A and B are shown apart, each in its own frame.
Chain A
Amino acid sequence: MNLKPYGDTALLLDCESLDEAQRWFAALHDEAEVVLGARSVLLRGDPAALRSLVGRTSPVATAASLDGPQVEITVAYDGADLDDVARLTGLTPAEVVAAHTGTPWTVAFGGFAPGFSYLVGGDPRLQVPRRDSPRNRVPGGAVGLAGEFSGVYPRESPGGWQLIGHTGLAMWDTAREPPALLRAGMTVRFVAA
């Protein structure tokens, strides 16, 4: 883990893996405002105080494994980037759908926007780069791919992921407790509509 400067209101722990980031997150989340990334942990606050906090903290030995319930997400595979994803992966669009639905995904961490979760553990053939330039508007319910992740946009927002379909399921609802449908550790299975 490397400490990296992050302006005058935060500090970044640059980790080797999601697992290492999760272990630092678990060690620090009661001590500071902590946001988990895919390979990093952001601490918000005075950088000097945070450096000292990290210096006297060790990551926990193992990230808690949360065997949550399985959630099924029904998807209409009609995304604007489905053909691009097929081209990038060397698969046909039908094979992209089969790969996306064929392997269960695990909720790694939340972020980007409320209700947005990064899903990992899917078919490795589906790793594609983000779009060269993010879209200003991605519709709510859009299902996308980026890097090793899949995810569902909880509402209309800007976004750079490759869109392969959409779902009508509400990812985030503040009238619900907890408001986020997906939480770390849950298993997600996509089903073609």
Chain B
Amino acid sequence: MTLVIESPGLLTLVQDLGRPGLGHLGVSPSGAFDRSALRQVNLVLGNEPGAAALEVLRGELVLRAETPTWVAVTGAAGPVTVDGDPRAYGRAIPLQAGQRLALGAPAAGLRSYVGVAGGFAVPEELGSRSTDTLAGLGPAPLKDGDRLALGAATHPPDIEDVPTLGRTGELTLDVMLGPRDDWFTTTAVRRLLESPWQVSPASDRVGVRLTGPALERARPDELPSEPCVRGSIQVSADGQPIVFGPDHPVTGGYPVLAVVLNRHTDRLAQAAPGQVVRFSRVS
């Protein structure tokens, strides 16, 4: 019961729903950046919702089955082939021993999720199989020739296509202001909520960096380091925001102007460099 990685593409990580509840150890939740896509791939395969899958950045993954199994692809949608023949995105795909699954580059979005019946059975670290890229927990990024053990599988349920993810165009994210909106000028708060923000290429699972007008502080002093969460919008001294992702630092040293609501933080997993993000205030 194994799969072999023939090519991991730019970056392929094992991710499940992470390790919540360990903030006191200095450990962030980590886990799939696009949790809804992870849950979907597991639904399609009849797995537990948090079974470990592969989070593939910008496609170009090739893997080979060593034993017959089922796989499926959700998240950012691009070409999916088995031994060169097209297969459906978002559906269980049978793989015979020796067959190769290949992902092309996604047309929209950044991160695809490749699940397997039974999930990937890599060893857990602190209760999760997720790779935390900041903390260095969990398996290393996958490389050519890695052999991954699979969990016990059942036959996948017969499920219709899941909807294609990977939005193009502008992303709008609901935010709540605070906790440190009072550290910023009213102009800065207005700019955050009214300006288009461009996703910077320097974004990763730690945080999505945005570029736009400078967000000026109302006070110049240093913020004593403060805990943060996935979705915290921290503004560094150069006035540019970073929205923390699943591998965020447990504490940060710059004030958090607003927080993206939990239900919208998954959308940032698919925000490509240059894409426009807007923030919408909810009370």
Contacts and interface: CB of A to CB of B under 8 A. Distances in A.
Interface of A: 4-10, 12, 14, 18, 29, 33-42, 44, 110-116, 118, 129-134, 136, 146-149, 155, 157-158, 160-161, 172, 174, 179-180
Contacts of B187: none
Contacts of B259: 5-8, 10
Contacts of A37: 224-227, 251
Given A112-B251, A113-B26, A5 B176 contact: yes
A35 B250 contact: yes
A114 B251 CA distance: 11
Contacts of A44: 20-21, 23, 229
Contacts, number: 150
A5 B250 contact: no
A8 B125 CA distance: 28
Given A9-B262, A133-B237, A174-B125, A38 B225 contact: yes
A112 B229 contact: no
Interface of B: 20-21, 23-27, 125-126, 134-137, 175-180, 202, 206-207, 222, 224-232, 236-238, 240, 249-254, 256, 259-262
A36 B225 CA distance: 9
B176 A33 contact: no
B224 A40 contact: yes
A134 B262 contact: no
B137 A40 contact: no
A153 to B, nearest CB: 11
Query: Which of A8, A33, A118 has the most chain B CB atoms closer than 10 A to its own CB?
Result: A8
B208 to A, nearest CB: 13
A172 B20 CA distance: 19
A36 B224 CA distance: 11
A161 B230 CA distance: 22
Contacts of B222: 129-130, 146-147
Contacts of A180: 25-26
A113 B135 contact: yes
Contacts of B206: 157-158
B253 to A, nearest CB: 5
B225 A42 contact: no
A12 B179 CA distance: 7
A73 B176 CA distance: 42
Query: Which of A12, A18, A114, A116 has the most chain B CB atoms closer than 10 A to its own CB?
Result: A114
Contacts of A111: 26, 225, 227, 249-251
Contacts of B177: 5
Given A29-B24, A114-B27, A130 B224 contact: no
A107 to B, nearest CB: 12
A1 to B, nearest CB: 13
